């Protein structure tokens, strides 16, 4: 019984970070309808950005070992958002948005090749620049825990770093959903996603909306990556390990639903941690995809996907 609650808590904590990671990708897919294979590698860059901001940019000296990593992780978001903004401006915008009308297969083939190419360049470029040694952003909090006693005879240990990771993820998620649902810019992103042509008639610059979505998506996933790095070491090819989980989360949440991607990621975190109760750890990822297939079998549109014709 104690094991069950312990796994549930661990699943919720990691699930919140996975959720945030998936939301970054879900935002890009939802608004732009571009399958970004390089998203895991943008996350890898986010991890290294947080790492170097912490160690080399003086944040460690300024904020110390406990608070410092989280400051660096939060700053990695804007850094990757700017990077994503220019990647979209220079490359992605050439095969997406208003350009798709003149491309074969609505630009999807070109998008596939381009994002795969970007992924390869980032992975191998990362290997040259960062080297192959494992890096990590460990804090003293990564190896200490709070003890929680929800019932009189059960106690659960919450890793402090992971708990803060989850809280940061939730806070960013809340800010993002406020941005998407309440602000003019968020509404215009949704309008551009719903119907790019009609959005143009309204005076919305669809390519600019896509650029904002891409930058935001990169920044959000970079923060999620930094948070994961407080507990998991990383290397230039780490994106490959996560990009599949990201896509599974986005599909589970419902393609096109930004909030859904969060719950998709949460589900994956829960399944991953809960599966350790009955399966050996090596089968964690197999369990994720078994549950994934099961859910998709009964609900092909995902949790929040709608089976409506797009007008």
Partner 1 sequence: MLRIEGLSAGYSAKPVLNDVSINVGAGQFVAIVGPNGAGKTTLFKTISGIVKPSGGEITFDGIDLLAVPPPQRAHLGIAHVPEGRQVFPSLTVMENLEMGAMTESGRRDWQANIERIFEWLPVLKERRNQFAGTMSGGQQQMLAIGRGLASSPKLLMLDEPSMGLAPSTADFIFERLIDIRRQSGLTMLLVEQRVAEALESADHGYVLEAGHVVLEGNNDTLRADDRVRKAYLGM
Cα 26-271-244 angle, rounded to 5 deg:
40
Q: Is 50 or 192 the residue whose CB approaches partner 1 more closely?
A: 192
* Least CB distance to partner 1 at residue 26 (A): 14
Q: Please state the closest distance from residue 102 (CB atom) to partner 1, in A.
A: 10
- The contact set with partner 1 (CB under 8 A) reads 98, 184, 187-188, 190-191, 193-195, 197-206, 208, 306, 308, 310-311
- DSSP string over 177-230: HHHHHHSHHHHHHHHHHH-HHHHHHTT--HHHHHHHHHHHHHHHHHHHHHHHTT
Q: Using the minimum distance from each CB to partner 1, give the nearer residue, 132 or 197.
A: 197
Minimum CB distance to partner 1, residue 259 (Å): 12
Which tokens sit at 96? 């997406």
Give the list of residues 6+ apart from residue 134 with CB closer than 8 angstroms, or none.
Answer: 233, 234, 235
Question: By C-beta, is 188 or 230 nearer to partner 1?
Answer: 188
Min CB(99)–partner 1 separation in Å: 13
Nearest approach, Cβ of 238 to partner 1 (angstroms)? Answer: 34
> How distant is the alpha carbon of residue 230 from its chain centre?
15
To partner 1, the closest distance from the beta carbon of 193 in angstroms equals 8
CA distance 59 to 45: 18
Token output for 11: 């699943």
In the bound state with partner 1, the residue whose beta carbon lies nearer, of 55 and 98, is: 98
Choice between 155 and 197, CB closer to partner 1: 197
HSE-up of 130 (CA within 13 Å, CB side)? 25
Q: CA distances (Å), 19 to each of 28, 154, 191, 242, 270, in order? A: 14, 28, 24, 12, 11
Contacts of 108 (CB under 8 A, 6+ apart): 35
At closest approach, how far in Å is the CB of 144 from partner 1? 44
Residue among 149 and 310 whose Cβ is closer to partner 1: 310
d(CA 24, CA 32): 12
Q: 68 with 54: CB under 8 angstroms?
A: yes
Please, which residue, 90 or 308, has the CB nearer to partner 1? 308
């Amino acid at each position: 019984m104690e094991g069950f609650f312990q796994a549930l808590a661990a699943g919720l904590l990691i699930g919140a970070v996975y959720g945030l990671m998936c939301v970054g990708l879900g935002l890009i897919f939802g608004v732009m309808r571009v399958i970004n294979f390089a998203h895991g590698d943008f996350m890898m860059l986010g991890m290294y950005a947080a790492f170097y901001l912490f160690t080399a940019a003086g944040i460690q000296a300024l904020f110390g070992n406990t608070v410092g990593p989280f400051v660096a992780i939060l700053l990695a978001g804007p850094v990757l958002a700017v990077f994503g903004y220019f990647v979209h401006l220079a490359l992605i915008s050439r095969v997406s948005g208003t350009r798709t009308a003149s491309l074969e297969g609505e630009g999807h083939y070109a998008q596939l090749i381009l994002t795969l190419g970007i992924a390869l360049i980032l992975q191998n470029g990362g290997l040259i620049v960062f080297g192959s040694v494992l890096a990590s952003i460990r804090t003293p909090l990564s190896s200490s825990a709070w003890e929680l006693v929800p019932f009189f005879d059960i106690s659960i240990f919450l890793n402090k770093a992971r708990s803060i990771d989850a809280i940061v993820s939730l806070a960013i998620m809340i800010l993002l959903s406020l941005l998407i649902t309440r602000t003019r810019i968020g509404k215009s992103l949704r309008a551009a996603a719903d119907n790019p042509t009609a959005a143009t008639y309204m005076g919305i610059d669809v390519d600019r909306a896509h650029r904002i979505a891409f930058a935001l998506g990169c920044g959000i996933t970079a923060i999620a990556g930094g948070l994961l790095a407080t507990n998991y070491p990383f290397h230039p090819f780490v994106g490959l390990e996560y990009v599949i989980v990201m896509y599974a989360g986005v599909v589970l949440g419902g393609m096109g639903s930004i909030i859904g991607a969060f719950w998709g990621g949460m589900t994956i975190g829960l399944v991953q941690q809960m599966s350790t109760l009955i399966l050996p750890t090596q089968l964690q990822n197999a369990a994720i995809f078994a549950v994934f297939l099961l859910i998709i079998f009964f609900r092909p549109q995902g949790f929040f996907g709608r089976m409506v014709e797009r007008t």
